[in-house]
Structure 1
Amino acid sequence: MAIGKLFIGKKVRELRAASNATQSQFAERIGISTSYLNQIENNQRPVSAAVLLALADKFQLDIAEISTGETDRLLSALSEALSDPLFETYQPSLQELKLVTQSAPGLAHALITCHQAYRRNGEQLAGMDDRLGRTAAAETTPYDEVRDFFHFVDNYLHELDIAAEKLALDLGLPAADSHPLLTDYLEKAFGVRVVHGPMAAHAIRHYDPASRVLTLNPYAPAQTRLFQVAVEIAQLHAGTVADTIARNAGFRTEEAVDICRIGLHNYFAGALLMPYQTFLKAARELRHDIELLAARFGASLEQVCHRLSTLQRPGLKGVPIFFAKIDRAGNITKRHSATKLQFARFGAACPLWNAHQAFEAPGRIIRQLAETPDGVRYLCLATQVSKGIGGFRSHQPVYALALGCEISYAEAFVYADDLNLADRAGFDPIGISCRICERPNCTSRAVPPFRRKIAVDHNIRETTPYKLR
C-alpha cells in the first residue's frame, strides 16, 4: 500500500518537549538544520526517512505507531461540518483542512462541537412545539459525547485492555466453557453468587449489592449471559480504572460520565472474554472468519466484530477495519473506523452500501467490493443479527453489522478468496452520505450535496429531477 507524505509536527514537538530540548539542540541531535525542524514542527514539510530513523534511534519514536487514523477521522468530521450551507462563503482546500487537523486538532474538535450544537439547535427549532419555551438550548447529547470519545481514542483503551488480558491469563481464558471460570471467580474474589431466574420484561441482568446475587435471564442467549457475567466482573474488578478514565475524559455532564462507564465496562468484558494477543492470533489464523471466531471464543457475531475494531494496541495492531451497527431505519448506533472510510455524523448512510442488503438476506454474510469518491477501495461485509431474548410475545429487534477493510488488506480475510480484487470495474461506487457526496450521476441520490448548486431542465426528466452544476 502506498504511503503518503508524513506530516507529524505535533508528535515531533511532543518528543522535543519531553526531552526538554530547544529547537537547535533537538535539530542537532537528529542531524538536521534548525530551520528544517521548525518547518517539520509546523507541518510545512514532511519528515524524510532519514529523520524518521533518527527520531526512532535517538528518541525511541515507534515508527509502527505513526498512523494517520486519527487525522483521517478528524479530517472527515471537520470536512462534513464545513460542508454545511452555514459556511457557503468559505470553501477550504484539502490542504487547509489537513493543516488544521494536523497542527491544531484541539481547534478542529472545538469547531465540530460547535457545529453539532448548531445542528441540534436548528433541528429543535424546526420541530417547535408548546414545550420549546421550557426546553434548554440544544447541545451535544451525552450519548454523542461518549460515542465521539471512543471514536477519537481509536476505540482502544490500553489500561483497561491490559488489565483484562492479565485477568484472562490468571483465569485461564478463553476456555471450552468460560462460564464456570467466571462465576467461580466472582464468588471467590467478591462473594457474588450467580443465579438464573425470572426477571422483569426485557431485563437481561440484575445485580443486588445487598445480597450480592447476580441474576441472569435464563432465556437470553448463552453468549449474552456470559458477557453479562464479564460485565459484572468489570464493574467489581476494574471499576476504579473505568471511573478514572471516565472522569478524565472531560465530559460536560454526569450523564455522559455514567454512559461512558457502561461503554468502559463493556469494553473490559469483551477484552476479558477475547484477550488481545490470543484473539489477534486467532483472527490471523482464521483469516477473520467471524463465525469461526464466535465459535472459538463463545461470543456473538456482534461481540466479535466489535472486538476486531479494538485491535489497535501500540506495537501490535491488527488489520485496520471499519465497524458499524445499523438499525432498519438506517440509524448508525455503533460506529468506528480505523480506515479512511468515516461514517456520516448526520443523515443516513449511502443507500448503495451493502449494509442495507443484510436485512433482505438474514443468516447470510453479504460481500461487496466498493469504492468511495476519493478513489479508496474496500472489502465490505454485512450480516443481520437479532437481539431478542426469545419467546412468542417478545420483540426481536434486528440490526445489520457492517465491517470491512481497505482492499490492500483484503487477503487477510477469508471472504475475499474468490473475488476479483484487480478488476476496478467490479467495485460499486458508494459514498458517505448524500449531503456530502458529490458523485454527479448517482441514481440513488436522496438530496443534493450541500456544496453543489443544482440545475433543473423542465424539458427533461431523469431519475433525479435535477443535475449538479
Structure 2
Amino acid sequence: MAEHHAFVGPRIRRLRRELGITQAAMAQDLNVSASYIALIERNHRPISAELLIRLAESYNVDIASFRDADADAIQQLQDALSDPVFTNAGISRDDLRDLSAVNPALTDAVASLYQSYRSSQRAVMESRASGGAIIDPLEDARQFITKNHNHFPALDEPGEEIARALGRSKGAVLDAVAARLKNKHSLELRILPDDIMAGAYRRYDRHRQQIAISETLDQASRVFQAILQVILLECG
C-alpha cells in the first residue's frame, strides 16, 4: 500500500514557532535534515505519515489537528463569507482552500475576527431588544477604576512584594527577574530572534518550560515583558 503524504507546511511552521525552536532543532528532534524541514514548511515537499507520527510523539500534539484543521478552517471562513456584507466578494471555496494552505494562521485569525464581530452584534441587538443602554467598554472601565479609587489590593500588594524582592537583588533587573522565574517557577528566561518569535514580544512555552522574549525589544521593554510574565504567573 502506498504511503500517505500530506502538504501541511504552514501548520508545521506555526507549530515550530509556537515551540520557539529553529528548523535545525526540529530537524534534529525528528532525525531529518534542516533543509527537508524548510522544504516541508514551504509546501515544496509533503510530510509522510511516518514523519507526522514522529512529530506528534516528539511534541505531544494531536495528529488530527493537522488532518482536520484545514477543513474546519475553510468551513469557518465560508460561514463568515456567507454574511451579506461579503455578497459581492466573489470568493470561492477553492480560494479559501488556497488561503488556508498558504497561511493557516491568517485563516484562523479572520474566522476568529468574524466570530467576535458576530458576538458583538448579537450583544447590541439583545441590549436594544431589552431596552437597555449600549455599554461603552472604555467608560465602564473608567467607572470601575474610579469606584475603587484606583486601588486593587489583590494586585497592588503582590506587586509591591515583587518590587521589593527585585529591588533587593544585586545586579541588573532582568537578571533578577530571570532568577525569580528560575527559582520560583522552574522557568528559563530566553531572548530569541524575531524569526522564531514570529513577531511576538513574549511567549510562555510550557512544553519547554521557558519564557521567550524577542530580541527586537530594547532593554527596558525586555524588563517590562519579563516582569509582566512574573505578575501573570503569581497574581493571575
TM-score bracket, shorter-length normalisation: 0.3 to 0.5
Q: Which has the higher contact order (CA 8 A, sep 6+)?
A: 2
Higher helix share: 2
Question: Structure 2-normalised TM-score?
Answer: 0.37
**Greater radius of gyration (CA):** 1
Question: Structure 1-normalised TM-score?
Answer: 0.22
